[in-house]
Structure 1
Amino acid sequence: MSYVIDLDAERREVQYPDGIPVKFAGDQFIFPAELPAEALDPILSDELDLVGLLGEVIDSAEGDAGVKEVVNALFRRPSLPRKFLAAVRETYAILLGEQHATFLENRPSIGDYVRLTTGLTKVYGVELGKLFRSAASSESDSPTSNPTSPATTGSTPDGSGSAPDSPDSSASDG
């Protein structure tokens, strides 16, 4: 029997069977090979209401939002930056588990969080913009629509979507 969706198919665990190693401040941290759905809960929480913020920005600009609309919406939610940072920290606590305390001891900067999040989203293959986009905008029931590429291709490298190696990643640990 063939399946339309095969959740047993090759997953990121095959590429990173022991998790995703990340070097930070001389320490190594292991992130889960697959992004647990619960890790997005803090970012998507009702209290943070990022979806509401995005809706407000888009509504205020009649679909053509710019920096001014984003800044105005943020000023209407003065506690949002602090709540957002707390949500990011909570997300990393979920991802790192017992390693989180050591991670925080290294005092990650905002830039560290941005670089780490950017790298992990590439490895996990998750884009926040796609999470917030409505399902209808990415689908088409039109009989004239055609896929832009075949469902499978032999030209995609095995490491597709993975973060690039850092220059010192090839150095030995000895």
Structure 2
Amino acid sequence: MSFVIDLDAERREVQYPDGIPAKFGGEQFIFPAELPADSLDPILSDELGLVTFLCEVIDSADGDAGVSDVINALFRRPALPRKFLEAIRETYAILLGDQHEDFLAQHPSIGDYVRLTTGLAKVYGVELGKLFRLGGSSENASETSSPTSSATTTDSTPAGSGFVPDSPDSSESDG
């Protein structure tokens, strides 16, 4: 029997039994092999209101939000950038545990956070844009539809994530 979702399958703990190493400022930091669910709590908190903010931006632009829509919405919430940065720091505190102070001592820039988050998202198999996808999907469920590209799901699920893809095209990623 084949399973679409097999939580008993090999997980990243097998690929990275000692955690995911990241080099920054000449030091090595170890992130958990699996993304802890609670690590996203600071970013998704009601106090931060990021999900509400994104909904507002998308609604105000009829689903086709551009940079100007985001900037206009930010001016209506001047505290959001600072709160968002604090939520990112809290997330990294959860992920790094005892290493967090050493990480902060390296004085990470916004770019450092972006690059590290992007890299970790790839390893964890999390697409940040899909986390916040609201309303209609770009996918077409009709029988005659086909993906616009065979690469649309290639990087979203690493090989060892416990997901058994339903088509050969979606298993091309080495994760």
TM-score range, shorter chain: 0.7 to 0.9
* Structure 2: runs of 5 or more not aligned: 151-165
Distance in 1, matches of 2:171 and 2:119, equals 23
Equivalent positions of 1:102-141 (< 5 A) are 102-134=102-134, 137=137
CA distance in 2 between counterparts of 1:97 and 1:6 reads: 29
CA shift for structure 1 position 106? 1.2
Map of 1:156 onto structure 2: 172
Shift in CA distance, 40/155, structure 1 to aligned 2, threshold 3 Å: closer
The sequence identity of aligned pairs, in percent, is 75
Of the structure 1 ranges 108-117 and 141-150, higher mean CA displacement relative to structure 2 is found in 141-150
Deviation at 1:138, TM superposition (A): 6.3
Q: Deviations over 1:86-135 (max 9, x none)?
A: 00000000000111011111111111111111111111111111111248
**Which amino acid in the other structure matches residue 28 of structure 2?**
Q
Shift of residue 64 of structure 1?
2.3
What is the CA–CA distance in structure 1 between the aligned matches of 2:116 and 2:170, rounded to whole Å?
30
Q: Aligned pair in 2 of structure 1 residues 154, 82: CA closer, same or farther (>3 Å)? A: closer
Larger Rg belongs to: 1
Q: Would the alpha carbon gap of residues 67 and 38 (structure 1) be closer, same or farther in structure 2, given more than 3 Å must change?
A: same
Name the SS of the counterpart of 1:30 in structure 2: strand
Are 2:52 and 1:52 equivalent residues in the alignment?
Answer: yes
Paired letter, 1:85: L
What's the CA shift for 1:54? 1.2
Equivalenced residues, count? 159
Residue 54 of structure 2 is aligned to residue 38 of structure 1: no
Q: What is the DSSP-based 3-state SS (H/G/I as helix, E as strand, rest coil) of the residue aligned with 1:63?
A: coil
Q: Go from structure 1 to structure 2 and tell me whether the alpha carbon gap of 1:155 and 1:3 turns closer, same or farther (over 3 Å shift).
A: closer
**One-letter identity of the residue aligned with 1:50:** L
Instruction: Let me know the Cα RMSD of the aligned residues.
Output: 2.4
